[in-house]
Chains A and B, each alone.
Chain A
């Protein structure tokens, strides 16, 4: 399997630059307008506090899954599946918090080579991108259970729909290597 190329380091550098510029702007605004200073600090602090309470736990959970559920496991279970079971497995393995999206592409290409259905690969990728289990918990906390469940249901439905449309339109032409 090919080693996925990581997005360039400059991405992080840009993010730092933006963050620092924003902080400088905020300090200037806070100094120039003492009347809003309290509200800026209070709003920022309330978000920061909520994040600090939840983020370490979420990251630990993601780290545990990333180490325990290897790419090989996903490959083994998703390579030759079909039917409802295939859809459920694709959703399940996509939703496990096993790493960033760019890891999933070579994995999906490998699955296509092994003969996995195109619809399942699309469902797998969509689930990987937006139905991560710890993410759902964070969504539950910040947006409420009803919001999270409604959006989750809709997302699963549309992930399957997109999968079947893509499968009708094309088959993945992954470069065929040795079989």
Chain B
């Protein structure tokens, strides 16, 4: 199974990295594990949110019905609305991929899923004030505005390519 082999590869990388790091510098390795643990707890509510939400939505709406409902909205308007949702939401990308995978398996259009992931990661409405403060208002607005357009185009092209 392809899905399992990717997970195995990542786990293998982590284990090899961890062993190598342990031999190079134990203190730094401990520090790295603390960082990992801390980010896990920071992500925990988002993880629970996504798991419960997927259960709830797929439980109440069989995948076929759900994708039919969404795919009726998969034109350019659909891409735009999905892009907006992705830009506003603040879900860690690592958690968004399983969500996107579930959506893809339920038959949602590739363009919608690609747009969602791309705006989700590329544009940070939450981090925008900080970006303005550090790099200037014009820079932050221009970069995020262009990124939003680019994300929509990426989603649209993904739908054509795949």
Per-residue CB contact flags for chain B residues 38-61 toward chain A (1 = under 8 Å, else 0) read 011011011111111111101110
A50 to B13, CA, bound (A): 17
Are A44 and B31 touching (Cβ within 8 A)? no
Given contacts A15-B45, A105-B134, A170-B142, contact A39 B32 (CB under 8 A): no
Cβ-defined partner of B45 (8 Å) among A18, A64, A146, A165: A18
Cβ-defined partner of B131 (8 Å) among A16, A105, A166: A105
Size category, A interface: 35 or more
* Chain B residues within 8 Å of A121, by CB: 135
State the Cβ distance, A136 to closest chain B Cβ, in Å: 10
Are B59 and A143 touching (Cβ within 8 A)? no
Per-residue CB contact flags for chain A residues 131-146 toward chain B (1 = under 8 Å, else 0) read 0101101111111101
State the Cβ distance, A110 to closest chain B Cβ, in Å: 9
State the Cβ distance, A157 to closest chain B Cβ, in Å: 9
A3 to B30, CA, bound (A): 23
How many pairs of residues, A versus B, come closer than 8 Å at their CB atoms? 247
Are A161 and B47 touching (Cβ within 8 A)? no
Per-residue CB contact flags for chain A residues 59-94 toward chain B (1 = under 8 Å, else 0) read 111111011100000000000000000000000000
State the Cβ distance, A73 to closest chain B Cβ, in Å: 13
State the Cβ distance, B12 to closest chain A Cβ, in Å: 8
Chain B residue, CB-CB nearest to A146: B162
Are B58 and A101 touching (Cβ within 8 A)? no
Besides the contacts A105-B127, A151-B117, what 17 more A-B pairs have beta carbons closer than 8 Å? Answer: A22-B52, A23-B52, A39-B62, A40-B59, A43-B55, A50-B3, A51-B51, A57-B7, A60-B32, A64-B18, A126-B143, A126-B147, A129-B124, A130-B121, A147-B114, A150-B162, A165-B142
Interface residues of B (CB under 8 A from A): 2-3, 6-7, 9-11, 13-15, 17-18, 21, 28-29, 31-37, 39-40, 42-43, 45-56, 58-60, 62, 90, 93-95, 97-102, 104, 110, 113-114, 117-118, 121-124, 126-127, 130-131, 133-136, 138-139, 142-143, 146-147, 150, 153-154, 157-158, 161-162
